[in-house]
Amino acid sequence: MIAMPHIDESSLFLRFGIALVIGILIGMQREHAFEKEDRELVSGARTFSLMALLGCTAGYVSDLTGSPLPMAVSLLILGALFAINYAIESSRGETGITTEVAALLTFFVGVLAFWKHLTLAVALGVTIAVVLSVKPELHRFAKKITREDIWATLKFAVITAIILPVLPNENFGIPPLDVLNPYKIWLLVILISGISFVGYVLIKVVGTRKAIGLTGLFGGLASSTAATVSFSQRSQDAENLARPFALAVIVAWTIMYGRVVVEVAVLNIALARMILIPVLAPVAGGLIACWFLYRSRWSKETVDVSFNNPFELKPALTFGFIFAGILLVSRAAQIYLGDMGIYISSTVAGLADVDAIALSLAALSDEPEGLELTTAARSILLAAAANTAAKGGIALFAGTALFRRSILPGFLFMLSLGLLVIIFI
């Protein structure tokens, strides 16, 4: 006779209870979905809660008997039931298997709950419910994604999966070449492209022909420079929207500062903490400028703004080379010119790309005998200010007179605060 393992009764009830709650949650979503689509209810809250309890029970019995047979038999019976149900639905012209797959996952959520992987079980259950709930949004998003978007993303994924594992994960050469690590450089390319892709996806989800301020918000994640160029040029075609365009641009600039902090934190959390408080000054300046523009005149009219997929290979590779170049120049400036060389190179680099220089300084200051945190923090703020100045120049040059008047106070306010806080580091 097999000795039954002892399980604390309260722990056992907790596991079954969590399985039951997750099953009810997923089942309620299914009931809501079927009710909205005016279809006959096949599997609802009761069925899914029983499915989760079945998984938990199968795990329990298998544990008691020391055999996987009870779980295997449960899965076999479920598979047979799913096959019969699918055959019936197919005869009616309904070929989707979403509910069946969700039910199978719910069974395994119950198994995980019994095996005391409660956090994973809850996370998986919530994820299942969310994925089932966002069906309309996913379909709308799929229609907005172009073939070129898919192809660009696949190319980026393939080259990353193939190239990244074989890149040497070591620094090589003598100073200043010792800062070049091919593996880490490409990882940072993935990081920046990923952050930009989040903004790109959000723009695709909400659509660029939405409220202008919202487009500026997501544009700041995708590319604040692209947002600046687009809105400045659009002001030539729709001068009556100059103030909303100016608002969107300043929103994008404000988001850029927060984005820099996140990027730095990935590589050097100590440096991120050091720049966090100073960065709040230009962010506050941007928010104040946005508030005044919002109060002076606001428009709910729509506008179309173009953003490129950040997973395009050419921009990604270009960023990789720029990042490596800036890293090399910054290291050389540190060795041969000291702190002043770092400040100069950061300012010049920031005119073109604040992401590359911020990551370079974060990497340099994370080395045992690398750049001092204070110097790195000042340099990042200089680069961000230079980047804001460059985008302000674009806006003032490419925009209409009303657009320039609208954006100038906020631009000068943010730039002044961004430069002022450098003194106090």
Q: How far apart are CA 330 and CA 316, in angstroms?
A: 21
User: Quick one: tokens of 289?
Assistant: 């400028």
Is residue 201 domain-resident?
Answer: yes
Is residue 140 domain-resident?
Answer: no
Same domain, 129 and 151: no
- With contact defined as beta carbons under 8 Å apart, do 365 and 268 qualify? yes
Place of tokens 């003598």: 174
- Residue 4: per-residue pLDDT: 45
- With contact defined as beta carbons under 8 Å apart, do 386 and 350 qualify? yes
For the whole prediction, is pTM greater than 0.85?
A: no
Q: Which domain holds residue 76?
A: 9-133
- Residue 212: per-residue pLDDT: 65
If one counts the domains in the chain, the total is 2
Is residue 249 domain-resident?
Answer: yes
Interaxial angle between packed helices 354-364 and 182-206, expressed in degrees from 0 to 180 and rounded to the nearest 10:
140
Same domain, 153 and 104: no
Same domain, 102 and 33: yes
Q: How many CA atoms lie within 13 A of 271 on its CB side?
A: 31
Same domain, 149 and 88: no
Same domain, 332 and 293: yes
Same domain, 123 and 154: no
Same domain, 167 and 118: no
- Residue 322: per-residue pLDDT: 79
User: Quick one: tokens of 356?
Assistant: 């590359």
Is residue 3 domain-resident?
Answer: no
- Residue 3: per-residue pLDDT: 44
Is residue 340 domain-resident?
Answer: yes
- Residue 89: per-residue pLDDT: 72
- Residues facing 211 on adjacent strands: 302
- Residue 419: per-residue pLDDT: 92
Q: How far apart are CA 377 and CA 197, in angstroms?
A: 26
Q: How far apart are CA 174 and CA 348, in angstroms?
A: 25
Same domain, 246 and 352: yes
Q: How far apart are CA 196 and CA 307, in angstroms?
A: 10
Is residue 139 domain-resident?
Answer: no
User: 133, 167, 193: which is the final residue of a domain?
Assistant: 133
User: 77, 102, 133: which is the final residue of a domain?
Assistant: 133
- Residue 286: per-residue pLDDT: 93
Q: Where are the alpha helices (DSSP H) in 167-312?
A: 182-206, 212-237, 242-267, 269-296
Same domain, 305 and 221: yes
Same domain, 163 and 117: no
Is residue 138 domain-resident?
Answer: no
Is residue 4 domain-resident?
Answer: no
Coil, strand or helix at 145: coil
User: 133, 159, 183: which is the final residue of a domain?
Assistant: 133
Same domain, 293 and 420: yes
Q: How far apart are CA 281 and CA 379, in angstroms?
A: 16
Same domain, 93 and 154: no
Q: How far apart are CA 225 and CA 352, in angstroms?
A: 9
- With contact defined as beta carbons under 8 Å apart, do 374 and 393 qualify? no
Tens digit of each residue's pLDDT, the chain (425 residues): 344 455 677 788 888 999 999 988 888 877 776 654 445 555 677 888 898 999 999 989 988 888 888 888 988 888 888 788 777 777 776 666 777 888 888 999 999 999 888 888 999 988 888 888 877 767 676 676 777 777 777 777 777 777 778 888 787 777 667 667 888 778 777 776 776 676 666 666 665 545 566 677 777 777 788 788 878 877 887 777 788 888 889 999 999 999 999 999 988 999 999 999 999 999 999 999 988 888 765 445 555 555 666 666 777 777 778 778 877 887 787 777 788 888 988 888 888 788 888 988 998 888 777 789 999 999 999 999 999 999 999 899 888 888 999 999 999 999 999 999 998 87
- Residue 7: per-residue pLDDT: 65
Q: How far apart are CA 349 and CA 354, in angstroms?
A: 7
What Cα–Cα distance (Å) separates residue 361 from each residue in 191, 308, 316, 346, 424?
16, 27, 20, 9, 19
